Chains A and B, each alone.
Chain A
Amino acid sequence: MRYSGFRILKEALTGHKGWTPQWRDPAPQASYDYIIVGGGGHGLATAYYLAKEFKQARIAVLEKGYLGGGNVGRNTTIIRSNYLLDGNEPFYEFSLKLWEGLEQDFNYNAMVSQRGIINLIHTDAARDAATRRGNAMIMNGADAELLTKEQVKVLYPFLNFDNNRFPIKGALMQRRGGTVRHDAVAWGYARGADSHGVDLIQNCEVTGMRIENGKILGVETSKGFIGAKKVGVAVAGSSSKVMAHAGMRLPMESHVLQAFVSEGLKPVIDGVMTFGAGHFYVSQSDKGGLVFGGDIDGYNSYAQRGNLPVIEDVIEGGMALMPMIGRARLLRAWGGIMDMSMDGSPIIDKTHIDGLYFNGGWCYGGFKATPASGWCFAHLLAKDEPHVTAKAYRFDRFLKGLMIDEKGQGAQPNLH
């Protein structure tokens, strides 16, 4: 069913009797050409583009829980393409461009809202780094501006400019950055994929892989064996668990990242802001909640919950930056499991097993990457060669010494 102004009007006047399910709940078939493991944002986007853009068929998405229940349903909704390195920036800029056309493309209002993102600058060295980054962004076709302290003051007069431990000296602004209604991204892709014939199979956990003579034949699931010519795994924090079924060890660790929302407030923060000196980033949702976060807890975890030290650290950062939020209240804290890679950048690559493909290692960056991740993974699955913007996201980059390390922290996942 296509959504339109006419349809909205008709349904409103006739008691909403005509709305149909946004996706089916099919039973799995015996085999598919493509199985995508993971019904989160990346898996659903992969299936959608595989069917729609790459004209492939006989596709299933297997999800162990409910669609969109992973990190796409528990992030801080930020989109941006303010990356530094050549391995990353073209990919994230491709993603941002896909975001910009997404709603018209899948006929679903995911509330893509480009209200701008600023990264605050506190030292001269940080300004030099922001200059380098801003130039890299522009040279990759993205937008960037360096704001002075006075320009930041016009945007956010209530920041703590004068009594701050780390003075605000300016900001790197990407005006095309912003936020998206995260759940709607999953649903939009799910609905789109379903309408192109993709079988979305919920409550179907992959419990094993059938591999013979170096080739994958299908997956064992909680709903029985399902055959496949190609299997693409896009399960974020569960990557190591799922790929262990193929005997693979990955260059990544799973870590919990907490995120927070305040009670609903009348608008105070228009865009997205990051406070590097204090591990804090914030935006305000269309419902009025301040959505914010900071660092990962720092220890391997699959628990989807964190502990007080990071909660307090993040909110200290918020209070240091904006002492006017002291009387707003924290409504809810939650945790998602990040697939923290060894250089802070993702992998979209074939494996050594014929027909088995992998997409993961997204660290904090998974949400904003969703459209391009799906597109590039679909490209790899359909054509057996990487998309031009995702060429660097290879497994063997660590063996070859071609790491894509934005933060320069080396082989320690919890520092990325």
Chain B
Amino acid sequence: MSQSNRIAGGQIDRSKTLRFHFDGLPYLGHPGDTLASALLANGVRLMGRSFKYHRPRGPISAGSEEPNALVELRAGARQEPNTRATVAELFDGLTAQSQNRWPSLKFDALAINDRFNSFFTAGFYYKTFMWPASFWEKVYEPIIRRAAGLGSLSKLEDPDTYDKGFLHCDILIIGAGPSGPSAALTAGRAGARVILADEDFRMGGRLNAETFALGDQSGADWATAAVAELSTMPNVRLLNRTTVVGAFDHGIYGAVERVSDHLPEPEAGKPRQTFWRIYSKRAILAGGATERPIAFENNDRPGIMLAGSLRAYANRWGVAVGDRAAIFTNNDDGLRTAVDLQAKGVDVVAVIDSREGGDLLSGIRHLRGAEVIDSDGRLGLSAITVRQANGKTETLKVNALGVSGGWNPNVNITSHHRSRPIWREDIAAFVPGSGEIANLLVAGAAGGTLSTHGALVTGDEMARLALDSLGLTAKAANLPKAEDAPVRITPMWYVEGSSRAWIDPQNDVTVKDIKLAHQENFTSVEHLKRYTTLGMATDQGKTGNVLGLAVMAGLTGKTIPETGTTIYRPPYTPVALGALGGRGRGREFKPFRLTPSHKWAEEQGAVFVEVGYWMRTQWVPKAAETEWRQSVDREVLATRKSVGICDVTTLGKIDIQGTDAGAFLDKVYANTFSTLAVGKCRYGLMLREDGMVFDDGTTARMGQHEYVMTTTTANAVTVFRHLEFCRQVLWPDMDVQLISTTEAWAQFSVAGPNARKLLQKVVDQDISDAAFPYMGAGNITVGGLRARLFRISFSGELAYEIAVPTRYGDAMIRKLMEAGAEFDAVVYGTEALGVMRIEKGHVAGNELNGTSTALNMGLGKMVSRKKDSIGMLLSQREGMTQADGLRLVGVKPVNPADALKAGSHFLKTGAAATAQNDDGWLTSLVYSPHLGHYIALGYLKNGTDRIGETMRAVNLLAGTDTPVEIVSPHFIDPEGERLRA
């Protein structure tokens, strides 16, 4: 329980102690710790296992670039796999367990893979597991899949909520090290609307990890003061725990704020995380730099980490990773770690500096021209082997080794638009290409300016540039004095050796793998990545990519810029899927649209069905009815016998007005509407430009220049869009205006022999057959309330559709039912509607499938060739007018007791079930309570000429093969006498 490796100093609150568990063992830490810093403070270096060889892994970093120290954080439904311990903020009661090991972290059975590493080289899988052929899927792959992956999902529904939000600003500043706050102060003081976002819970970036002074303050204190000043500015929004994860078009950035991840669970009503879409006029990337290692044999043991991270643990968290440390560096920054560690009382055994000549550190054994060539230690570092300039090798007992191969500017976001970074020889690193993302500027280390002074200056400069371009005036800056050391680096990428030197420690990609890729001609960087999996781990190669590239460059004899670089893709760091999903889950996935009679129907115990976003009444069961068919049959029979009512509000309704309204309809409908008499309706057929049927519905002429169109429920939106296109783009001078009134009118179908009697009780006008004949339409009133009445029928019965303003829809259904009581009126749902339309032979969704012509539907004569209309010409193409093409037919079982299945295909008697013999399919099927058997519609090749033929409806999925007779699609009242009654 003791924090054996805790040393003095750091930005942790020692006045409070936090308890936590890792792999079931209890530990203590302090507020300000990460899980990694707290475990290291407790002397725990082993935190994970690598992907392929299951080698022991400890953290190599102190930040979000961490590839190794991945754990399953929390438990139960909140279990988070692959959580980087280096950024997981410690809280009281935290639990975490190691992953990708069995049975335990210290003894992992699959570490046997490491013994067979000579087999598991890059590309191994592609060359093997092929013999015998059947074994890949049956034997090899299942074993590989079982071993795959890192952490586990709980398989339980995520109990937390996630929010999404939109933010707007003049200047988005990404990163709050020295350059970010410097830019934010300049921009904020000038009055710009600023957002400063940083992934860390504590702003300050590297300043928190360094011992530099800024003016007369420590770096951390300067950052604290800067943040304090910024927090007083109403025009500045500070977002800590917020990672800007991607740069999208036109100044839009995605960012994830970890609102509650530092708490045991979110506070009531608070989300776990918020995904922000940030709209910025200008952005400044101030994302700093990431250190990279030098590869040498067995450089992957816990205790070996990036030198700057070793320093960060000491300075920021008061943790000595080991009591005997060494440093391996090719640049001056590595020396800082040695100095800082020694100042903290750590025994710095040696600094192994690959550069020859130059000054030596005082008071520390500083070996120039030396290399670390190997390490030892089963579950953590215990010793390193050093080869000095004179060739002499020496073993040093150390339990911490800091490695610095230089610093890579975090160019990541600048390549999200696929521009490639450019190589800068003087700092041996890639820096952003210029100007590829519009209005994105780069400051500080992210742009290759690696000194603190440079960061402050470039932050201020970029803010000035941004302000200037926005027409804002910057005030004089007052930058503190800060270190301004030059970058002194002699590139050195890996130490040649015969064993394995890791480049990507999570995916176990070693120098050997890169050599093999080169040997097999996978030399393009993309091939290298894909063949070896370099950079494809959860860190996306933040520490390893440049190193791997440099090794390949060395092998091919090309320079690094000639060798190229792979492109970083969003997100910058992995983002919880929950955050990107936001609130759109479960029942909230898409909106519900409710019909005006929904409340009433609910009261009646109606069963509802999803129709697009609408919920429609499917049927309304009565108490005694146990099977859905009983309800539907009753609704159909009652309607045909007396009267039934159906809410048809979901049909699209479009008011079309203007002196050219009739001419306009002639353009968009295949048939003619300009000749329609005022006060009458007509069935309209609308084609797409490619000649296929787009939509159908009735359109009424309410006045000389006034029409009301109805569309199908499914196409209400797309038809309206199409009409607007025709009106604005194709015929811009037509005097025609459109408005969608789908939601303005509650519309009910009243159908059946008693429909008129019922309605006459409700409406104020005479609607006798003489006054309101078949296909009549008009404005009427219902108890003085304006309403619309259309005498149209989908069911084949005497029928009307009556529309009242939507807010009266609930009252209307109640009034209709009350008036209908004496006729035993029923409400019928979509099932009964479907039965009646099929009995009548009307096409609907399953026939209006986007690949059917008017000819296919038996409506070919409706396409007028006397006028130009959308789709008229292309509907005449030879492939669409074949005499033996598909035609709409009716279908009934030869044996009335046989059931049928929609989607069955038509085959001739005796024909084998092959595609060549396929004559069409059965589109829609219902049970007709009148006829006492199933009836169906279908598309059949040359169907019109095959009425009376006996065929088979075959459903191979269910193994059924049913004799059917092809009949006319009009099963009831083919002469239409009922309609005109």
Which A residues are closer than 8 A to B by beta carbons?
3-5, 7-8, 12-13, 15-16, 19-25, 65-69, 73, 86, 89-90, 103-104, 107-114, 122-123, 125, 127-136, 138-140, 144-146, 158, 160, 163-167, 181, 183-184, 187-188, 202, 262-268, 278, 285-288, 303-305, 307-308, 311-312, 315-320, 323-334, 397, 399-403, 405, 407-411
Do residues A265 and B152 form an inter-chain contact, with CB atoms below 8 A? yes
Alpha-carbon gap, A20 to B516, bound state (A): 9
B268 at the interface (CB under 8 A from A): no
Do residues A90 and B915 form an inter-chain contact, with CB atoms below 8 A? yes
Question: Considering the complex of A and B, which 3 residue pairs feature the smallest CB-CB distances, nearest first?
Answer: A408-B850, A131-B903, A288-B149
Q: A24-B521, A307-B252 are in contact. List 7 more A-B contacts (CB 8 A).
A: A20-B520, A112-B137, A163-B587, A265-B81, A327-B577, A397-B879, A410-B694
Do residues B136 and A112 form an inter-chain contact, with CB atoms below 8 A? yes
Do residues A324 and B155 form an inter-chain contact, with CB atoms below 8 A? yes
Residue of A nearest to B902 (CB): A128
Contacts A128-B902, A312-B582 given; does A400 touch B879 at CB 8 Å: yes
Stretch among B127-135, B382-390, B469-477, B547-555 lining the A interface: B127-135
Do residues A286 and B145 form an inter-chain contact, with CB atoms below 8 A? yes
Do residues B957 and A332 form an inter-chain contact, with CB atoms below 8 A? no
Residues on B with beta carbons closer than 8 Å to the beta carbon of A65: 526
Residue of A nearest to B132 (CB): A104
Residues on A with beta carbons closer than 8 Å to the beta carbon of B277: 308
B218 at the interface (CB under 8 A from A): no
> CB within 8 A of A136: which of B582, B878, B918?
B918
B464 at the interface (CB under 8 A from A): no
Do residues A326 and B610 form an inter-chain contact, with CB atoms below 8 A? no
CB distance from A157 to the nearest CB of B (A): 8
Contacts A89-B915, A136-B915, A305-B417 given; does A329 touch B905 at CB 8 Å: no
Alpha-carbon gap, A326 to B851, bound state (A): 39
B619 at the interface (CB under 8 A from A): no
Do residues A265 and B149 form an inter-chain contact, with CB atoms below 8 A? yes
Residue of B nearest to A320 (CB): B589
Alpha-carbon gap, A328 to B83, bound state (A): 10
Alpha-carbon gap, A318 to B512, bound state (A): 39
Residue of B nearest to A132 (CB): B903
Do residues A326 and B524 form an inter-chain contact, with CB atoms below 8 A? no
Do residues B151 and A266 form an inter-chain contact, with CB atoms below 8 A? yes
Residue of B nearest to A269 (CB): B153
Residues on A with beta carbons closer than 8 Å to the beta carbon of B520: 19-22
Alpha-carbon gap, A8 to B126, bound state (A): 11
Residues on A with beta carbons closer than 8 Å to the beta carbon of B902: 127-128, 131-132
> CB within 8 A of B913: which of A22, A127, A138, A160?
A138
Do residues B538 and A319 form an inter-chain contact, with CB atoms below 8 A? no
Alpha-carbon gap, A278 to B913, bound state (A): 34
Stretch among B117-125, B352-360, B488-496, B669-677 lining the A interface: B117-125
Residues on B with beta carbons closer than 8 Å to the beta carbon of A410: 688-690, 692, 694, 850
Residue of A nearest to B417 (CB): A305
Contacts A13-B118, A134-B956 given; does A401 touch B148 at CB 8 Å: no
Residue of B nearest to A114 (CB): B137
Within B602-634, the residues touching A (CB, 8 Å) are 609-610
Do residues B849 and A408 form an inter-chain contact, with CB atoms below 8 A? yes
Do residues B846 and A305 form an inter-chain contact, with CB atoms below 8 A? no
Residue of A nearest to B956 (CB): A138
Residue of B nearest to A188 (CB): B126
Residues on B with beta carbons closer than 8 Å to the beta carbon of A333: 246, 569-571
Residue of A nearest to B881 (CB): A401
Residue of A nearest to B150 (CB): A264
Residues on B with beta carbons closer than 8 Å to the beta carbon of A331: 538, 540, 571, 574
Contact with A along B537-566 (1 / 0, CB 8 A): 110100000000000000000000000000
Residues on A with beta carbons closer than 8 Å to the beta carbon of B157: 160, 323-324, 326
Alpha-carbon gap, A186 to B970, bound state (A): 55
Contacts A131-B901, A166-B610 given; does A401 touch B954 at CB 8 Å: no
CB distance from B115 to the nearest CB of A (A): 12
CB distance from A401 to the nearest CB of B (A): 3
Residue of A nearest to B714 (CB): A125
Residues on B with beta carbons closer than 8 Å to the beta carbon of A104: 130, 133
Contact with A along B913-941 (1 / 0, CB 8 A): 11101100101110000000000000000
Do residues A86 and B958 form an inter-chain contact, with CB atoms below 8 A? no
Do residues A263 and B903 form an inter-chain contact, with CB atoms below 8 A? no
Do residues B137 and A267 form an inter-chain contact, with CB atoms below 8 A? no
> CB within 8 A of B130: which of A109, A325, A399?
A109
Residue of A nearest to B522 (CB): A22
Alpha-carbon gap, A65 to B524, bound state (A): 9
CB distance from A20 to the nearest CB of B (A): 7
Residues on A with beta carbons closer than 8 Å to the beta carbon of B590: 165-166
Residues on B with beta carbons closer than 8 Å to the beta carbon of A125: 845-846
Contacts A163-B587, A166-B610, A263-B81 given; does A113 touch B151 at CB 8 Å: no
Residue of B nearest to A145 (CB): B957
Give me 29 A-to-B residue pairs in the complex whose CB atoms sit less than 8 angstroms apart, sorted by A's number: A3-B130, A8-B128, A12-B121, A90-B915, A103-B133, A112-B137, A128-B924, A131-B901, A133-B903, A158-B156, A160-B586, A181-B126, A264-B82, A264-B149, A266-B149, A266-B151, A267-B145, A288-B149, A307-B252, A318-B581, A320-B585, A325-B158, A325-B578, A326-B578, A327-B79, A330-B577, A331-B540, A401-B879, A411-B689
Do residues A315 and B418 form an inter-chain contact, with CB atoms below 8 A? no
Contacts A109-B125, A128-B924 given; does A123 touch B610 at CB 8 Å: yes
B154 at the interface (CB under 8 A from A): yes
Residues on A with beta carbons closer than 8 Å to the beta carbon of B874: 401
Do residues B133 and A21 form an inter-chain contact, with CB atoms below 8 A? no
Do residues B585 and A323 form an inter-chain contact, with CB atoms below 8 A? yes
Within B251-285, the residues touching A (CB, 8 Å) are 252, 254, 275, 277
Do residues B519 and A135 form an inter-chain contact, with CB atoms below 8 A? no
B78 at the interface (CB under 8 A from A): yes
Contact with A along B731-747 (1 / 0, CB 8 A): 00000000000000000
CB distance from A276 to the nearest CB of B (A): 13
Alpha-carbon gap, A169 to B162, bound state (A): 28
Residues on A with beta carbons closer than 8 Å to the beta carbon of B137: 112-114
Residue of A nearest to B585 (CB): A319
Alpha-carbon gap, A256 to B39, bound state (A): 45
Do residues A122 and B538 form an inter-chain contact, with CB atoms below 8 A? no
Do residues A268 and B153 form an inter-chain contact, with CB atoms below 8 A? yes
Do residues A330 and B575 form an inter-chain contact, with CB atoms below 8 A? yes
B18 at the interface (CB under 8 A from A): no
Contact with A along B498-527 (1 / 0, CB 8 A): 000000000000001000100111101011
Alpha-carbon gap, A160 to B156, bound state (A): 10
> CB within 8 A of A4: which of B131, B527, B576, B584?
B131
Residue of B nearest to A123 (CB): B610
Residues on B with beta carbons closer than 8 Å to the beta carbon of A265: 81-82, 149-153
Contacts A308-B252, A327-B80, A397-B879 given; does A263 touch B956 at CB 8 Å: no
B106 at the interface (CB under 8 A from A): no
Residue of A nearest to B253 (CB): A308
Alpha-carbon gap, A125 to B611, bound state (A): 10
Residue of A nearest to B146 (CB): A267
Alpha-carbon gap, A397 to B874, bound state (A): 12
Do residues B131 and A325 form an inter-chain contact, with CB atoms below 8 A? no
CB distance from B636 to the nearest CB of A (A): 17
B949 at the interface (CB under 8 A from A): no
B481 at the interface (CB under 8 A from A): no
Residue of A nearest to B574 (CB): A329
Residues on B with beta carbons closer than 8 Å to the beta carbon of A399: 877
Contact with A along B684-725 (1 / 0, CB 8 A): 000011111010000000000000000000000000000000
CB distance from A113 to the nearest CB of B (A): 6
B822 at the interface (CB under 8 A from A): no
B904 at the interface (CB under 8 A from A): yes
Alpha-carbon gap, A402 to B136, bound state (A): 41
Do residues A135 and B956 form an inter-chain contact, with CB atoms below 8 A? yes
B530 at the interface (CB under 8 A from A): yes
Residues on A with beta carbons closer than 8 Å to the beta carbon of B977: none
CB distance from A267 to the nearest CB of B (A): 5
Residues on B with beta carbons closer than 8 Å to the beta carbon of A326: 157-158, 160, 162, 576-578, 581
